[in-house]
Amino acid sequence: MSVLTPTAPAPPLEPHDASESPASPFVMPPVPLRLSDMTRDELTQCMLAWGEKPYRAQQVWSWMYAKLAGTVEEMTDLSKPFRARLAEVIAPLRPTAISHRVSADGTEKWLLDCGDGVATETVFIPDEERGTVCVSSQAGCSLSCPFCRTGTLPLRRNLTTAEIVEQVLFVRATMAARGVRVTNVVLMGMGEPLYNLEAVTRAVRIIMDNTGLAIGCRKLTLSTSGVVNKMEEAGRNLNVNLAISLHSVRDPVRDQLVPINRKFNLAALRRAALAWPMRGRDRITWEYVLLAGVNDTLQDARELVSWLKGIPSKVNLLAFNPWPGAPYTPTPREQILRFQEVVANAGLVTIIRDSRGADVGAACGQLAGTAGEPELFHAPMQGRLDSLEKLPRI
Ligand code: SAH
Ligand code: SF4
């Protein structure tokens, strides 16, 4: 591992403030240095290692995350020699977009280059009072939920902290240039965030830092398919809203729709949800994609209501976003409304989340990590399978 020593020696480091990072001693990262891989505390330690004053870190941090500087050159209150020194050793501050598509409803999707033949997708969803970035945590996914297009891809690799942070940074800067606000972040793009928990935890810390991107804990939601053995650790380290992809409260059906259910069944998921640390009026968001003839009867709705009893919950009913070759069809609108009525009548907040960006493959479950696919999302859908038995097994 090379050490950053353009001018100053780098002595072994102690954390400058032990209270901020009690567990992990700082290790100087290799060159080129990816600034967005570092928490604010680590950036401070990096500056100290260079023989700089700690306030340098706050200056750089503010330029990157609050003033959205795209290059070191723009950081004009840093001395010229320091800028030159920094520019010499750091990687570019922003990722490069390989493709960009805009939906008729205003949703935008970028394919961002991760530099090693891997790319990841990021989506911006504008609506009246907020602008939401949907962030990926992995390139591909190791799980294979059969209704999700990402699930048809192999897992290429986990994204790094920087690759997660820079998705938000990229969209925030792009939108700021147009005078559009980014208010919310959802970890609901490609991949299973709890299978990349370390990088996700660090990225969340950076994204939430109130002197930088400052996305508050109520504006940040992490969605998991139900990786029960990671939920305790996630609850301890992440102060975010939790969404769980439920899709059925019957084990045999959920075994098919969310195959991780074969490892962590509904009873285990329920226990983990009850153990999730809740503050005040917090609720867990349960995501439920409605698939025609699979999980969308009124009896399914009633069973959902009784399964949720005792858990502070809200329910997001997701309209199924079809993709070429998907083995399902969406539940008709009238049935979605009837299903919603049953759940709402039981006193649960229930939102129907309509498909956004479907025409450019940017809707939930359509992310495939490929560039240029103009006709793909208009291709006729395959009929749904008659029997769940025909679905792929893991
Ligand atoms: N892996 C995580 C987060 C990414 S998926 C998870 O599974 O929760 C984000 C959400 O999109 C999940 O609730 C998922 O079930 C849903 N989803 C996936 N494919 C979909 C599709 N084709 N239509 C509608 N929602 C879909
Ligand atoms: Fe992976 Fe989530 Fe898609 Fe399942 S729904 S395949 S866990 S991204």
Checking if the pLDDT of 10 tops 60, the result is: no
| Per-residue DSSP letter, 54 | T
Closest Cα to atom 12, ligand 1: which residue?
245
Tallying the residues shown for the chain, one arrives at 394
Distances (CA, A) of 159 to 77, 89, 116, 203: 32, 22, 11, 10
Specify whether 217 is catalytic: no
Closest Cα to atom 8, ligand 2: which residue?
191
Closest Cα to atom 6, ligand 2: which residue?
151
Alpha carbon 13 to chain centroid, angstroms: 33
d(CA 34, ligand 1 centre) in Å? 30
Closest by alpha carbon to 67, among 220, 211, 219, 217?
Answer: 211
Q: Is 241 helix (H, G, I), strand (E, B) or coil?
A: strand
Averaged pLDDT for residues 127-144: 95
Confidence of residue 30 (pLDDT cuts 50, 70, 90): confident
Among 136, 147, 150, 261, the mutation site with the greatest number of ligand 2 atoms within 8 A of its Cβ is 150
Per-residue confidence (pLDDT) for residue 126, from 0 to 100: 95
Domains and CATH numbers, the chain: 2-13+95-389 (3.20.20.70), 33-89 (1.10.150.530)
Task: Spell out the residues 6+ positions from residue 103 whose beta carbon is closer than 8 angstroms to its own.
Answer: 109, 356, 357, 358, 359, 360, 362
| Per-residue DSSP letter, 66 | I
User: Which ligand is in closest contact with the Cα of 200?
Assistant: 1
Q: Are strands 131-134 and 138-139 parallel, antiparallel or unpaired?
A: unpaired
Count of CB atoms situated within 10 Å of the CB of 280:
5
Task: Round to whole Å and give the CA distance between 69 and 75.
Answer: 7
Strand partners, 109: 101, 123
Checking if the pLDDT of 390 tops 70, the result is: no
Percent over 90 (pLDDT), the chain: 78
Task: Round to whole Å and give the CA distance between 336 and 63.
Answer: 46
pLDDT digits (tens, 9 = 90+) for 336-372: 999 999 999 999 999 998 777 777 776 666 666 654 3
Indicate whether this model's pTM tops 0.75.
yes
pLDDT digits (tens, 9 = 90+) for 172-208: 999 999 999 999 999 999 999 999 999 999 999 999 9
Confidence of residue 279 (pLDDT cuts 50, 70, 90): confident
Checking if the pLDDT of 17 tops 60, the result is: no
User: Which ligand is in closest contact with the Cα of 194?
Assistant: 1
Ligand 1 site, residue 225, Cβ cutoff 6 A: yes
Q: Are 244 and 287 in contact (CB under 8 A)?
A: yes
Among the listed residues 108, 121, 192, 287, the single catalytic one is: 121
Among 121, 135, 138, 145, the mutation site with the greatest number of ligand 2 atoms within 8 A of its Cβ is 145
Mean pLDDT of the chain: 87
Q: Is 159 helix (H, G, I), strand (E, B) or coil?
A: coil
Task: Round to whole Å and give the CA distance between 131 and 99.
Answer: 20
d(CA 140, ligand 1 centre) in Å? 13
Count of CB atoms situated within 10 Å of the CB of 284:
19
Distances (CA, A) of 90 to 30, 83, 286, 357: 10, 11, 41, 35
At 71, phi and psi to the nearest 5?
A: -140, 160
Ligand 2 site, residue 192, Cβ cutoff 6 A: yes
Confidence of residue 9 (pLDDT cuts 50, 70, 90): very low
Specify whether 46 is catalytic: no
Burial pattern 217-233, b for ≥16 Cβ within 10 A else e, equals: eebbbbbbbbbbebbee
At 316, phi and psi to the nearest 5?
A: -105, 110
Ligand 1 site, residue 321, Cβ cutoff 6 A: yes
Give residue 202's region: left, alpha or beta (phi > 0; psi -120 to 50): alpha
Among 221, 364, 376, 382, the mutation site with the greatest number of ligand 1 atoms within 8 A of its Cβ is 364
Give residue 6's region: left, alpha or beta (phi > 0; psi -120 to 50): alpha
Task: Spell out the residues 6+ positions from residue 194 whose beta carbon is closer than 8 angstroms to its own.
Answer: 200, 224, 227, 230, 231, 234
The tokens for 126 are 């504008």
Averaged pLDDT for residues 274-281: 89
The amino acid occupying position 17 is: D
d(CA 193, ligand 2 centre) in Å? 10
